[in-house]
Each structure stands twice: as structure tokens, then as C-alpha cells.
Amino acid sequence: MTSPGSPPLMKMRQRGPAAAMYVIDAVHYLDDKGDIAPKRGPARKLAEFVTSVIAHASDFDRPDGTSGPECFRCRKRDNRCVDTGMAEDDAVVWHCPACGTEGRISNWQGTFWDLSRSAPSD
Ligand SMILES: [Zn+2]
């Protein structure tokens, strides 16, 4: 029994090469003292990248053209510095032009890497 036009199995929503999207809560990467919690391994690498992105994105005084941190996923040597920015909901966002990885970081305010507070606001 086959019916014409039966729905395909579980269609993927994405088209083309899938770029990873990371949604990160900064608190999950910090210990009670506010330091980076993971001590080693891939989690540590990701945590260091996340904190670097926070510092870059929240440093409103940084000169234009200052490169962002190096993408933690890229194996390439060139052009792997990510772009960082602020989303409308105050999440820190990043995007890697080299591999297409992007992400959002929430709860970064008040961490050691939040440089927005030291910036003169007046
Ligand atoms: Zn990358």
C-alpha cells in the first residue's frame, strides 16, 4: 500500500552545510568564584573562548578593527577570528566567517569578562 504524495520522513530544516549554533549560558562555565570552571579538555577550551568573546563584545572602547578571539572550532590558521556583537536582548553573539559557527551567550553581565562596566558611560 503506497499512497502518492506521502509525506517524506523527517525533513531537515536546514539547507546546505549546517553551521553549528551555540546557545550558551555563561554561568554554566563559571565556578562559585566566577572563574572558569572547566579545568581542562574541550570544555575548558570552549569556556576560554566564550569568556574571550564576552570581553571582546563588551569592550565598547576597543578600536574598530580589533580582531575578535580565534574560533575554537576552526582548524585553519588564517581568517578564523570571529566577529562579535550585541543582540537586541543584550546577549553576546559571535559569528565565525571561516566556518560559519555562531552562537549566543547570555548571563555574561557581571562576570570578570564584562568590560562594559569599566567603560565610561558619560
Ligand atoms: Zn570557525
Distance, CA 101 to ligand 1 centroid (Å)? 6
What does the pLDDT profile of the chain (122 residues) look like in tens digits? Answer: 555 665 555 544 444 567 789 999 999 999 999 999 999 999 999 999 999 999 999 998 889 889 999 999 997 677 789 999 999 999 999 999 999 999 999 999 999 999 997 645 55
* C-alpha 121 to ligand 1 mean position (Å): 33
Q: Is 96 exposed, middle or buried (0-12, 13-18, 19+ CB in 10 A)?
A: buried
Cα-to-centroid distance, 63 and ligand 1 (Å): 23
- Centre of ligand 1 from the C-alpha of residue 6, in Å: 39
Contact residues for 66 (Cβ-Cβ < 8 A; gap 6+) = 56
Alpha carbon of 57 to ligand 1 centroid (Å): 17
Q: How far is the CA of 95 from the centre of ligand 1 (A)?
A: 8
Q: How many A from CA of 53 to the centre of ligand 1?
A: 13
User: What separation in Å is there between the alpha carbon of 69 and the centre of ligand 1?
Assistant: 10
Least Cα distance to 48 among 72, 82, 80 occurs for 72
From residue 42, give the alpha-carbon distance in Å to each of 10, 39, 77: 31, 10, 19
